[in-house]
Structure 1
Amino acid sequence: MNNILYLSTPGSKQIEVFSIGVDFSLEQIQVINTDGEVQPIHTTENFLYAGIRPNCRIITYKIKKNGLLNKIGESPIPGSPNYLSIDRENKFIFCASYKSNCLSVSSINEFGIPNKPIQVLYNIAGCHYCDIDYDNKILFVTSLKNDCIYLYRVQNNGLLIKNKQFILNVNKGYGPRHMVFHPNKKYVYSINELNSTIDVWRLINEDNKLIQSIQNIDVISKKYFNQFWAADIHIHPSGLYIYASDRIANVISIFQINSNNHHLKKIADYTTEHQPRSFSISKDGTFLIVAGEISNSITLYKIKKNAHHIIEHIKIGVGKRPIWVHLHKLL
């Protein structure tokens, strides 16, 4: 048992824990009840962090050797959490709050528990995502309502300052939501919620993180849909394919990444769970799990070796409103 699935079901106020067998079977091994709606989940090697609302805070769990969770602490945050991320040295945790239009930074103590925020940045309208680059220098933050992505340089003390290139603007009404970094550290991909497109960004200056937009491509065809509600985006560990979901079309779309210019080419759509708000790809790239926020179920897909084809393997019922799928590899 090396692969563990952590699933937040805010409608049930629970975190569900599953072991994933070598035969891709799913076995529920733990259910944790909380006193609020569990939203985003993030893990390090030894800890799981869960954002909770309406009494907004981060709950820290110790991950045992078998993947089971043991609560060890709670930490305040200034707004309802939508996304959690941690710097690559596990010193600071960042929290994006869409409802409160803010981003908070908290240091992490010696026991793995976040302290009170050391910095809160307000007036980030629709703050939906925050994550640090591979070099552990620049924090990317999406402002869905302002149609832009903010770039902050992370100082050694965790405090954020504006980067030389502070704003990446997208077209009005696009609504940037989530992002992924290419493992070659030279490209970034962002998914736009309101028009269901993906923007491709090229890094043109590594030291100052100057970035240039090079492509915008549809997730779902505008020939067949006039409403859009894109959600999640992930990159295959090979760096050759991008996966994206849309909650109106109920699809997972797969794009091939051109090895020369990194432009995307759509190669497949797969009808999936009803309202696929979140999905996750295993670290070895062999399977994908998606949750249906309305269907109250999850589906595991096997990913074929060429990574542009997925096959449904197993579907099981879970708690109410599963919205965050997080795969974790035990050491």
Structure 2
Amino acid sequence: MDKYIYISSPGDNSIKILKFFKKNITVVQEMYTKGQAQPISLSKKYKLIYVGIRPNYNITTYKILNNGKIEEISTFALPVPLNYIDINKENNLLVCSSYHGSLLIIVKLNENGIPITILNTFKNVNGCHCSKFYHLKNSIIATALKSDSIYIFNSINNKKHFERLQFLVEKKSGPRHLAFHPNKSFIFSINELNGTINVWKITNNKFGINNVQKINLLPKEYNNSICYWAADIHISPCGKYLYASERNNSIITLFEINQNNFKIFFKKRYFVEKQPRTFFIDKEKNLLSVVGEKSNFITIYKISKDNGELFPIIRSYAGENPVWVIMN
């Protein structure tokens, strides 16, 4: 089965489309964008990708064709640049994070998945770097890097009557990205500034989160020489392994998740592409793809189902300063 890889490369104003098949990569298309492409989100239902563009701030929507290529079909203007885009389970809403605007924006999609209007805007989410739909509660969970906070927004469709809950992390830690465990009962957040991960248990009696663990990206023997600039976090499809990237030292760390209390413990570190700002785990093929913002390359790894370890398969050029990658 072919897997198509979509990479945003703001250094040359492009989206690179690659095909991965039988351990080989071929170039499918190089789509030049009207500005710098950054975050990408996928709608499998409508076969669309949504791309945040700057400096003329907008979401550009592309149709995915049968051969993996894309064609532009709409542009939706925004007041601020985006750092993260997520789509809800029903494929009728996008939630968009803006670090520089300190905003969280909900965008309504039409019956074809095209952005048509801003449904709601949440202000003063200071340094909002990531926001994701929590489908079980019709809520959004977001990071506020500059205020060292995790926010939960309930009743997101109601402009006047919504609940906004704030949960503080350690000062000067800078929560950046989030990952949900497949059981939907735990959240894992990565802190950019101090190189730590927080494990949060979701409380159901009164919807909120409780911190159950804070752990360094690397054990003590590595910490003395590390100046952290942590970035991205993902969980394996089986729910047993967690992966986190750190940019200053170009590493991805592998943690195992205790299946009883869901705390994590360090297993291994991998030196990967230079400055791994984002990476992606493909659930169908158990693949991890990582792009290097400074190396300009992508490496695809196979995830071992036995122990979560990463085994490199192939490396390929990814464009100038690649910052986002997804697979479909």
2:182 paired with 1:183: yes
Deviation of residue 109 (structure 1)? 1.2
Asked if the contact 1:220–1:249 (Cα under 8 Å) also holds between the matched residues in 2, the reply is no
The aligned counterpart of 2:40 is: 41
Q: CA, structure 1 residues 184+27, in 2 after alignment: closer, same or farther (shift >3 Å)? A: same
3-state DSSP of counterpart to 1:11 = helix
Percent identical: 38
Deviations 1:238-266 (A, max 9, x none): 00000000001210100000011000010
Distance 2:137 2:298 in 1: 33
2:91 paired with 1:103: no
Distance 2:153 2:295 in 1: 38
Distance 2:32 2:137 in 1: 34
* Contiguous gaps of at least 5 residues in structure 1: none
* Contiguous gaps of at least 5 residues in structure 2: none
Asked if the contact 1:238–1:285 (Cα under 8 Å) also holds between the matched residues in 2, the reply is no
The aligned counterpart of 1:28 is: 27
The aligned counterpart of 2:139 is: 138
Asked if the contact 1:80–1:99 (Cα under 8 Å) also holds between the matched residues in 2, the reply is yes
Deviation of residue 116 (structure 1)? 2.9
Asked if the contact 2:237–2:286 (Cα under 8 Å) also holds between the matched residues in 1, the reply is no
Deviation of residue 131 (structure 1)? 0.4
Asked if the contact 1:220–1:246 (Cα under 8 Å) also holds between the matched residues in 2, the reply is no
**Post-superposition, which runs of at least 4 consecutive aligned residues in structure 1 deviate over 6 A?**
157-160
3-state DSSP of counterpart to 2:314 = strand
2:209 paired with 1:204: no
Asked if the contact 1:78–1:104 (Cα under 8 Å) also holds between the matched residues in 2, the reply is no
The aligned counterpart of 2:315 is: 315
Deviation of residue 284 (structure 1)? 2.6
The aligned counterpart of 1:263 is: 263
Alignment RMSD: 1.6
- When the two structures are aligned, how many residues end up with a matched partner? 324
Deviation of residue 176 (structure 1)? 0.3
Asked if the contact 1:302–1:311 (Cα under 8 Å) also holds between the matched residues in 2, the reply is yes
The aligned counterpart of 1:231 is: 231
Distance 1:69 1:160 in 2: 39
Deviation of residue 172 (structure 1)? 0.2
Distance 1:150 1:210 in 2: 9
Distance 2:186 2:131 in 1: 17
The aligned counterpart of 1:170 is: 169
2:127 paired with 1:126: yes
Asked if the contact 1:84–1:94 (Cα under 8 Å) also holds between the matched residues in 2, the reply is yes
Larger deviation, residues 306-315 vs 26-35:
306-315
Q: CA, structure 1 residues 258+32, in 2 after alignment: closer, same or farther (shift >3 Å)? A: same
Q: CA, structure 1 residues 272+134, in 2 after alignment: closer, same or farther (shift >3 Å)? A: same
Distance 2:160 2:63 in 1: 26
3-state DSSP of counterpart to 1:215 = strand
Deviation of residue 155 (structure 1)? 4.1
